[in-house]
Amino acid sequence: MQSKTEREKEQILRMSGVNPLKCMRCGKCSGTCPSYDEMEYHPHQFVYMVETGDIEALKNSDSIYKCLSCFACVDRCPRGVEPAKLVEALRLLVIREKGANHLTPNDIPELVDDEIPQQALVSAFRKYSK
């Protein structure tokens, strides 16, 4: 029988379409990541930690909420690995569980001002809630 880790790894690879074995660990993705300072695990670490099955650590890390979906790591990776898609898959794996939304409508009034564009709110809900 497959372990939970194996199951989750398989699911992450299927959702993201990423092949971590293409990575040559050059670190360019992390070097270009604008959220590097806010992240505990960086884009290149997502790639090898998914590969080695260190999935719990990623799921429990705030790093999954710090990605800006700016796709810099996707465009600048010399091997076409697309690390952002792994970050996305990990985040979805977490928030798809019941009661695991990272953002709820009740949080909003305290977080925003009158000028915030609708686009920011719909985007945040798309990324942080299910």
- Which chain residues interact with ligand SF4 by CB under 6 A? 23-29, 32-35, 43-44, 47, 67-73, 77-79, 81, 83-84, 87
For tokens 């790639």, the residue is 47
| Residue 111 CB-density burial (10 A; 0-12 exposed, 13-18 middle, 19+ buried) | exposed
Q: Is 106 in the site for other proteins (CB under 8 A)?
A: no
Site for other proteins (CB under 8 A): how many residues? 41
Counted residue by residue, the chain has a size of 130
Asked if 54 and 9 touch (Cβ cutoff 8 Å), the reply is no
Q: Of other proteins, ligand SF4, none, which one does residue 116 interact with (CB within 5 to 8 Å by kind)?
A: other proteins
Asked if 57 and 40 touch (Cβ cutoff 8 Å), the reply is no
Residue numbers at the binding site for other proteins (CB under 8 A) = 14-17, 34-35, 37-38, 65-66, 68-72, 74-75, 84-85, 88-89, 92, 102-103, 108, 111-113, 115-124, 126-128
